[in-house]
Amino acid sequence: MSQERLRKSIREIPDFPIPGILFYDVTTMFKDADVLQELADTLYEMYKGKGITKVVGIESRGFIMGPILALRLNAGFVPIRKPGKLPAETIEESYAKEYGTDTIQMHKDAISPDDVVLLHDDLLATGGTMLAACNLVKQMNPKNVYVNFIIELEELHGKEAFKDVEIQSVLTL
């Protein structure tokens, strides 16, 4: 399987969620067993030698490949969620969006200073959500932090928001 096949498995939806936006739907990658396996293999190969102990997935599409990757890497999985969704004590980070602010939370005891963390989400656009997630994880002082996306929208320059973490994407569009 090739990068081209992975690329072709993404559904493009014009004018979603608002007019003028082209939405890249990765759920079509997940419904095809061969594509899902290729995606899992590709992600594993990217991170297999980095000593990852925790994979952190961002709600909600980060909850799909995040646990799969955690299992492959023999690492734990940690969810980052919207406020009010996690049952134990949390820490939180707020960030600016196009039309206001949003907040994400993580359990206070999810990451330790001994952890090497891989943050995963489906898409890098402007980087706001992932930057907030990265800041949240860094509050826990892990040994190292890596950031991964299935897709990077290169023209939006989201990588520029990150100063001190390695960022990789499976596909760049």
Let me know if residue 16 belongs to a domain.
Answer: no
**Phi/psi at 17 (5° precision):** -85, -10
How open is the CA angle 53-56-62, to the nearest 5 degrees?
A: 135
Whether the CB-CB separation of 138 and 156 falls below 8 Å is answered with no
Let me know if residue 65 belongs to a domain.
Answer: yes
Mean pLDDT along residues 97-103: 82
Print the domain residue range for 148: 51-172
Instruction: Identify the active-site residue in 4, 98, 155, 160.
Output: 98
* Residue 93 known to be catalytic: no
pTM: 0.94
Q: Which residue has the tokens 């890497």?
A: 73
Pick the most confident of 16-30, 93-107, 109-123. 109-123
**pLDDT tens for each residue of 26-47:** 999 999 999 999 999 999 999 9
Let me know if residue 45 belongs to a domain.
Answer: no
d(CA 92, CA 31): 32
The whole-number pLDDT of residue 108 equals: 97
d(CA 99, CA 89): 28
Q: Is the dihedral of CA 60, 61, 62, 63 positive or negative?
A: positive
Q: Is the dihedral of CA 80, 149, 68, 139 positive or negative?
A: negative
- Any residues with CB less than 8 A from the CB of 26 and at least 6 apart, and which? 10, 61, 122, 123, 150, 151
Q: What share of the chain is helix, strand, coil (3-state, %, to 5)?
A: 30, 35, 35
* Residue 12 known to be catalytic: no
Let me know if residue 12 belongs to a domain.
Answer: no
> How many domains does one find in the chain?
1
Instruction: Identify the active-site residue in 61, 81, 93, 152.
Output: 61
- Any residues with CB less than 8 A from the CB of 62 and at least 6 apart, and which? 56, 80, 120, 121, 122
Let me know if residue 166 belongs to a domain.
Answer: yes
Pick the most confident of 18-22, 98-102, 116-120. 116-120
Mean pLDDT along residues 135-157: 96
Report the CATH number at residue 82.
3.40.50.2020
Is residue 1 over pLDDT 60? no
138 falls in which pLDDT band (50, 70, 90)? Answer: very high
